[in-house]
Amino acid sequence: MLRVSHELDEGVKDDFDILSLIRVSQIRKMSSAFLQGLSQLFAAITLATGGAGVLAVTYLNVKDRTSEIGLRMA
């Protein structure tokens, strides 16, 4: 039926695929797992970048205030 509706002549390779429900389910699971892993990777990168930013700001504040602490102790 598909060959007739696609107007394919005899000897011409099919231009369509027939997938079973099991195969469709496997493809959906694989793509879902890939997207989940990709999301986790982006989350980890974002968390690391945010942590580095907080660390840098804290370091700069401590560096600037070190002289104040020394003056107050003296």
DSSP, residue by residue, 6-70: TTPPTTPPPS-----HHHHHHHHHHHHHHHHHHHHHHHHHHHHHHHHHHHHHHHHHHHHHHHHHH
Which has the higher per-residue pLDDT, 6 or 38? 38
Q: Are 36 and 44 in contact (CB under 8 A)?
A: no
**What's the mean pLDDT in 37-66?**
96
In the chain, where the domains are located: 50-74
Measured CA to CA, the distance from residue 3 to residue 25 in angstroms comes to 25
pLDDT of residue 1: 66
**pLDDT tens readout for residues 12-47:** 777 667 788 898 899 999 999 999 999 999 999 999
Average pLDDT over the chain, rounded to whole? Answer: 87
Mean per-residue pLDDT, 6-17: 71
Q: Give CA–CA dist 3/14, Å, rounded.
A: 7
